[in-house]
Amino acid sequence: MSEFEKLRVVTGYEFLKHIRRRRLYIILGLTILVEAAVLIAVPLLLEEGYPDNVMVMAAMLSIGPSLATIGAVFFAGDAIAGEFESKTGFILFTNPVRRITLVTGKYLAGLAAVAMLIVLGYIIVSISLLVIYGTVPVETAKSFGLCLLYGGSVLSITFFFSSISKGSMGATVITLVFIMVISSVIDGILIMADAPHWFMISTNGDSIATVYGGYELFLEGLPMGGTHMPDRWFQSPDINLMIVSMVIYLVAGFALSLWIGRRRQLS
């Protein structure tokens, strides 16, 4: 059996594991719940009903697919660390399949699971916009692509932490703290200092919504009609720079997880 065929088998087996896990359906349920909450809450909070601008509503609905990308953390937290924690690595890593093939197969399976959630999220977004406005803006396709790229970046970061962590829970928690706390705090400091922040992973996630017209357009749809904070705090970073940042996170995180996973010793 060639290495490519082994990769196909590993990917298929790992994807089947994701399909059988409840976490996939929990995240899917949360995504649907969030989208439903937006569809119900927006006309209640805005006296005029839904925003006149379809782009504003599309940006609001993008929170659902954004949430789906967090599934990458739960799909990949135990990808490498779990094999060492449960000692299954003594069986898995000593068979004729190379570690690189195993890690790559796990990554592709996790990416497929995340992509499935994102696709379902954007199906809901598109149907909702079509029903309410009779049209789906082309920016929705751009948002979809950015969401897939962001999901791959989050997955790579999770794989990296999984490769250096002793347990799957530790890898999951560290990744969530890194993305949702550490990166967000640094991001906020850079914004207040009027410094570039396009390279922060938390900012990269904002691109999924800001592609519709930036922070400024999104704020127009809020019930308070905007804020009195300095305008520079709401200047959207360059989408192209954020794409470069996400590609770096994706490639570097995955490459490091391969390198560390290949050299990590069983104990």
pLDDT in tens, the chain (267 residues): 677 788 888 888 888 887 888 888 888 888 889 899 989 988 888 777 888 889 989 988 888 777 777 777 877 766 565 555 554 444 444 456 677 888 899 899 989 989 998 999 999 999 999 999 999 999 999 999 999 999 999 999 988 988 887 777 777 888 888 988 999 899 888 888 888 889 999 889 888 988 888 776 666 655 554 445 555 556 677 899 999 999 999 999 999 988 887 765 555
The count of other CB atoms within 10 Å of the CB of residue 186 is 15
Number of domains present in the structure of the chain: 1
- Residue 82's pLDDT is 53
Distance CA 266, CA 83 (A): 9
- Residue 87's pLDDT is 47
Q: Do residues 146 and 208 lie in contact, with contact meaning Cβ atoms separated by under 8 Å?
A: yes
Query: Hey, is 53 helix, strand or coil?
Result: coil
- Residue 252's pLDDT is 96
Name the H helices within 46-98: 54-61, 63-69, 71-76, 81-85, 89-92
- Residue 231's pLDDT is 53
- Residue 145's pLDDT is 94
Nearest to 80 by CA among 5, 154, 170: 170
Q: Do residues 153 and 250 lie in contact, with contact meaning Cβ atoms separated by under 8 Å?
A: yes
Per-position b or e across 74-113, b if 16+ CB within 10 A of its CB = bbbbbbbbbbbbeeebeeebeeebebebbbbbbbbbbbbb
Task: Identify the H or E element spanning 40.
Answer: helix 22-45
Q: What is each CA distance from 209 to 15, 161, 164, 204, 260, in whole angstroms?
A: 28, 27, 32, 10, 34
- Residue 49's pLDDT is 80
Q: What is the CA radius of gyration of the chain?
A: 20
Domain interval for residue 95: 3-263
